[in-house]
Amino acid sequence: MLHCESMQEASIIFEALSTPVRRRIMEILYEDGDKNLNDLAKILELTNSAISLHIQKLEKAGLIIIHTTAGKRGSQKICKPKHEQIVIDLAPKKDLGCSYQDEIPIGYYSNFSIAPTCGISTLDGIIGEFDDPRYFSFPEHVNASILWLTSGFVEYNLPNHLIAGQELTELQISFEVSSECPGFNENYPSDIHFSINDIPLGYWVSPGDFGARHGRFTPEWWPENCNQYGLLKTLTINKSGTFIDGGNQISTTTISDLSIDYTSAISFRLYVPTDTKNVGGLTLFGKGFGDYSQSIKLITKYVE
């Protein structure tokens, strides 16, 4: 999948697909498979020089790959589509004022305690075996792009960039998450709790473990009967309390209650306790899995 973070970044794609001929070339490559330039010229009834110009535009935009192979009369250029989907972020990024921004890979947890069903995987393959918590301690876990558990927790040491004289005013933590059911179950609620430095922040009820379709970024090799994608949630802690997705308050814990200054460690925990109402587990999706291809994003806002 090709992901553009702004319309400006996607402008080269808009230009490449602005003509019916180039759109038709892409359709042919997806429908009929790889083609050489002579094949495309015959199908579209165009000259080889005209096809070459169109192909150059598509290649420059990153939409196709061209490789050279031996043919009956010398070498030939073979065209192959590069992506199956394009995602473009249309909303411009907001000015965050005085802030620090970080992205923490989901495999960079500092502590964990989990109960099966569970598992952990990189983009290239599953670490160890399903339902064995031992593999969460293997060194490969730092490269994980998806992990799941039925109950217990994963904990992350968040970076603290504050310096003397800076006062923390807000933390925003965003991540893609779902429940965890053996296989998958679209209607499988789970109470996913959050804390910072062991101070509870409240919880959010995940509606299910989603697998009826393939995740937009989930690798093709990933088993179809496993969790495929989650929901993108943003946890915000400010002077008014703790919120999910901006307006939904989940606790009265404020940023001042956390007592974080430039000397503080910031330990963020996601957990499903065994005594909560809906013990439906949690699945965290990182880059290359799910619908958003992001890790745990952190925005730290402050005033001087």
Domain assignments of the chain as residue spans, ordered by start = 2-87, 94-303
Cis peptide bond prior to 242, omega within 30° of 0: no
Q: How many CB atoms lie within 10 A of CB 177?
A: 23
Give me the pLDDT at residue 86, please. 85
Q: What does pTM read for this prediction?
A: 0.75
Give me the pLDDT at residue 1, please. 64
Token pair listed for 224: 């179809």
Length reported for the chain? 304
Token pair listed for 136: 């969460």
Terminal Cα-to-Cα distance of the chain (whole angstroms): 41
Of 100, 125, 197, nearest to 157 by C-alpha is 197
Give me the pLDDT at residue 139, please. 97
Tell me the residue type at 177: V
Give me the pLDDT at residue 226, please. 93
Q: How far are the Cα atoms of 9, 51, 63 from residue 85, in angstroms, in the given order?
A: 16, 23, 10
Tell me the residue type at 59: E
Give me the pLDDT at residue 265, please. 97
Give me the pLDDT at residue 34, please. 87
Tell me the residue type at 76: Q
Can you tell me the distance from the alpha carbon of 231 to that of 285, in angstroms, rounded to the nearest whole number? 9
Strands of 64-71's sheet, edge to edge? 35-36, 74-81, 64-71
- Find where tokens 């290359």 sit: 288
Dihedral angle of Cα 30, 36, 42, 47, to the nearest 10 degrees: 120
Give me the pLDDT at residue 89, please. 80
Per-residue pLDDT for the chain (304 aa), expressed as one digit of tens each?
A: 677 878 888 899 999 999 999 999 999 999 988 888 888 999 999 998 999 999 999 999 989 988 887 766 667 888 988 887 788 888 766 666 799 999 999 999 999 999 999 999 999 999 999 999 999 999 999 999 999 999 999 999 999 999 999 999 999 999 999 999 998 999 999 999 999 999 999 999 999 999 999 998 999 999 999 999 999 999 999 999 999 998 889 999 999 999 999 999 999 999 999 999 999 999 999 999 999 989 999 999 999 9
Under 8 Å CB-to-CB from 76, ≥6 apart: which residues? Answer: 36, 37, 38, 68, 69, 70
Under 8 Å CB-to-CB from 224, ≥6 apart: which residues? Answer: 211, 214
Give me the pLDDT at residue 54, please. 94
Q: CATH number of the domain at 2-87, please?
A: 1.10.10.10
**CATH 3.40.1160.10, domain 94-303, yes or no:** no
Give me the pLDDT at residue 5, please. 76
